[in-house]
Amino acid sequence: MRKLYVFDTTLRDGEQSLGITLNIREKLDIGRQLVCLGVDIIEAGFPASSPGDFKAVQQLAREIKGVTICGLSRAVISDIDLCWEALKDAQQPRIHTGLALSPIHRQFKLGVTPEQGIEMAVGAVKHAKKYVQDVEYYSEDAFRTEPEILARVLYGVINAGATVVNIPDTVGYATPWEYGELITWLMNNVEGMDKVIVSVHCHNDLGMATANALAGVKAGASQVEGTINGIGERAGNTALEEVIMSIYTQPSRFGIKTTVNYKEIARTSRLVSKITGVQIPAHKAIVGENAFMHASGIHQDGVLKERSTYEIIHPSVIGISQNKIVLTARSGRHALRHCLEELGYQLEESVLNKVYEKFLTLADQKQEIFDEDLHALMGNKEGMNGADHIVLKGFSVSTAGPSRAMATVELDFSGNVVTDAACGNGPVDAVFNAIDRLVGCKVTLEDYSLKSITKGKDAMGDATVKIRANDSKLYVGHGLSTDVIEASAKAYVNALSKVIAQPVSTS
């Protein structure tokens, strides 16, 4: 099985799209991680573009070992000279030179004829070969170049000594079948193509960079160029992690293999995101937060029974410890039981059903249920075992300024549903007063506290109420809700239920 060479251009094509300049330390950090990942070539930068880029390429060439360090240049003698000066201390240096010969570039950018362009390309490769054995030629905007002219320039640079020929879809214009057909046509019609490495470099303007790169590999290319997380000009470059894992999951379809250390993919992705400041979309393939997350009840049930029902890659392959079951209102009992068991709770079916009912009520109020929510649900056992004599059925509050409020409360009081209203000094006080009127139990509020116990703006509030009844005992009630007034009402009702359960006078 032939080898696929992985050419990473995060530090060149990726960086030039960021609107910022990475410093040398940041480039070195990414470069070292790329070595850990196992890429074959690191394109460190464009030395002629600025003194800072020259120094960065020079430093990477000196310090990064065990990988080819590549520098970009135009097909200009002075560019190539500077590129060599930056690369000369590299263990394995490569000069990457070239130009565009598509009609639009010939007319509006370069102002040359096809013959003049081919002469420039061949001259650039010959000059680069004076410095290094490994020369890559890029035919910028290759997909929009006439195939006959593209074939002529590739034939010329191969005879001039190019070891790699790069066929870029610079503006992401190709479709996978067209790009694959172009690579096949070149392989069959350009003499010497079998003696060099054919490289694919695709952009994502129409969302097909990964598909185009894979089509090129299937057609015979042996090098893929791209960036970590797909960062790059405009809509980005081919995302290397997507190409690598596509081949990993279906190697027989491509007849090629990489020497990438798959377990470093997630770590590399996170590092590049952190240093560049480019956030990874949650839905991003392979490395997005949602890539191994299951939210649908049907999917959760399937993946818990057999992982491969909804996962084609085990998360541990790319360095993620495990998949994520996200509890939402769409989750079923199987997912809830699994998450509770992960937290150490073992429930019988009858108890699980009661917990699930409360879970659904909470899930309707929150977008996602966190571990803290589950702990809170399991700690709020009143109402699950039938011990509560009073159940809050509903309430409404109206306010007229910060200190005037009226509350209407509906309670299920020992099987009878009753409603009453009261005023108070604020909404919580009004609710408590309405509950007092309904229950008719004389108690003293000793303490009341409220805290957030989960994450997010829709976090659950945990209310704690301490009341003292006629028997002088202190009763503690707890209430949980994403609505702080509801949490407070539940806590007060919970405490009163404990008072009612005791054989004491309430007169």
pLDDT of residue 454: 65
Q: What is the pLDDT of residues 337-347, one digit of tens each?
A: 888 887 778 88
Task: Report whether pLDDT(381) > 80.
Answer: no
**Got the DSSP string for 430-457?**
HHHHHHHHHH----EEEEEEEEE-SSST
- Is the domain of 121 the same as that of 250? yes
Please give the residue that has the higher pLDDT: either 3 or 307. 3
In this prediction, residues 98-121 reach a mean pLDDT of 96
Please give the residue that has the higher pLDDT: either 57 or 301. 57
In this prediction, residues 122-132 reach a mean pLDDT of 98
Distance CA 293, CA 479 (A): 30
- Is the domain of 47 the same as that of 10? yes
- Is the domain of 153 the same as that of 212? yes
- Is the domain of 270 the same as that of 311? no
Residue 261, domain CATH: 3.20.20.70
pLDDT of residue 506: 38
Q: Say how many domains are in the chain.
A: 3
| Confidence category of residue 285, pLDDT binned at 50, 70, 90 | very high
**Got the DSSP string for 193-231?**
GGGSEEEEEEB-TTS-HHHHHHHHHHTT--EEEEBGGG-
Q: What is the pLDDT of residues 446-501, one digit of tens each?
A: 889 887 766 666 677 888 888 988 877 778 787 888 888 999 999 899 888 888 87
Q: Which residue among 221, 242, 276 closes a domain?
A: 276
Residue pair 219/198 in contact by the 8 Å Cβ criterion: no
pLDDT of residue 503: 55
- Is the domain of 270 the same as that of 301? no
- The reply to whether 384 falls in a domain is no
**Got the DSSP string for 307-341?**
GGGT-SS-GGGGT----EE-B-TT--HHHHHHHHH
Residue 453's φ and ψ, nearest 5 degrees, are -120, 0
Distance CA 155, CA 186 (A): 10
Residue 452's φ and ψ, nearest 5 degrees, are -90, 135
pLDDT of residue 218: 97
Q: What is the pLDDT of residues 217-259, one digit of tens each?
A: 999 999 999 999 999 999 999 999 999 999 999 988 999 999 9
- Is the domain of 420 the same as that of 486? yes
Q: Which among 339, 371, 335, 333 is positioned nearest to 355, based on CA atoms?
A: 333
pLDDT of residue 112: 96
pLDDT of residue 410: 95
- Is the domain of 201 the same as that of 326? no
- Is the domain of 343 the same as that of 400? no
Distance CA 398, CA 427 (A): 8
pLDDT of residue 375: 76
Residue 461, domain CATH: 3.30.160.270
**Got the DSSP string for 283-299?**
T-TTTSTTTTEE-SHHH
- The reply to whether 481 falls in a domain is yes
pLDDT of residue 124: 98
Q: Where are the beta strands (DSSP E) in 377-473?
A: 390-399, 405-413, 416-424, 444-452, 461-468
- Tokens 């240093």, residue located: 275
Structure tokens at 185: 């046509």
Task: Report whether pLDDT(507) > 50.
Answer: no
Please give the residue that has the higher pLDDT: either 442 or 143. 143
Residue 103's φ and ψ, nearest 5 degrees, are -55, -45
Structure tokens at 226: 């791209």
Q: In one letter, which amino acid is 481?
A: S
- The reply to whether 284 falls in a domain is no
Sign of the Cα torsion 435, 439, 442, 444 reads: negative
- The reply to whether 418 falls in a domain is yes
Verdict on whether the full-model pTM lies above 0.85: no
Distance CA 450, CA 459 (A): 12
Residue 485's φ and ψ, nearest 5 degrees, are -70, -40
In this prediction, residues 299-314 reach a mean pLDDT of 83
Residues in Cβ contact with 350 at an 8 Å cutoff, skipping those fewer than 6 apart: none
| Confidence category of residue 301, pLDDT binned at 50, 70, 90 | confident
In this prediction, residues 55-80 reach a mean pLDDT of 97
Structure tokens at 47: 């030395």
Cα separation values, 439 from 133, 163, 420, 436, 495, Å: 91, 88, 10, 5, 12
Residue pair 136/158 in contact by the 8 Å Cβ criterion: no
Q: Which among 234, 232, 216 is positioned nearest to 224, based on CA atoms?
A: 216
Q: What is the pLDDT of residues 26-36, one digit of tens each?
A: 999 999 999 99
**Burial call 179-188: b when 16+ CB within 10 Å, e when fewer:** bbebbeebee
pLDDT of residue 299: 87
Residue pair 133/125 in contact by the 8 Å Cβ criterion: no
- The reply to whether 313 falls in a domain is yes
- The reply to whether 370 falls in a domain is no
Distance CA 119, CA 114 (A): 9
In this prediction, residues 275-292 reach a mean pLDDT of 89
pLDDT of residue 166: 98
- Is the domain of 242 the same as that of 339? no
- Is the domain of 120 the same as that of 244? yes
Residues in Cβ contact with 24 at an 8 Å cutoff, skipping those fewer than 6 apart: 55, 56, 59
CA 320 from chain centre, in angstroms, equals 12
Taking all residues of the chain, what is their mean pLDDT, rounded to a whole number? Answer: 90
In this prediction, residues 22-46 reach a mean pLDDT of 96
- The reply to whether 420 falls in a domain is yes
Please give the residue range of the domain that contains residue 417: 390-501
| Confidence category of residue 383, pLDDT binned at 50, 70, 90 | very low
- Is the domain of 327 the same as that of 433? no
Q: What is the pLDDT of residues 129-152, one digit of tens each?
A: 999 999 999 999 999 999 999 999
- Is the domain of 309 the same as that of 203? no
DSSP label of 460: P
Mean pLDDT is lowest, of 186-195, 419-428, 441-450, for: 441-450
pLDDT of residue 453: 64
Q: What is the pLDDT of residues 319-335, one digit of tens each?
A: 987 777 778 888 888 88
Share of the chain above pLDDT 90, in %: 63
- The reply to whether 373 falls in a domain is no
| Confidence category of residue 97, pLDDT binned at 50, 70, 90 | very high
| Confidence category of residue 382, pLDDT binned at 50, 70, 90 | very low
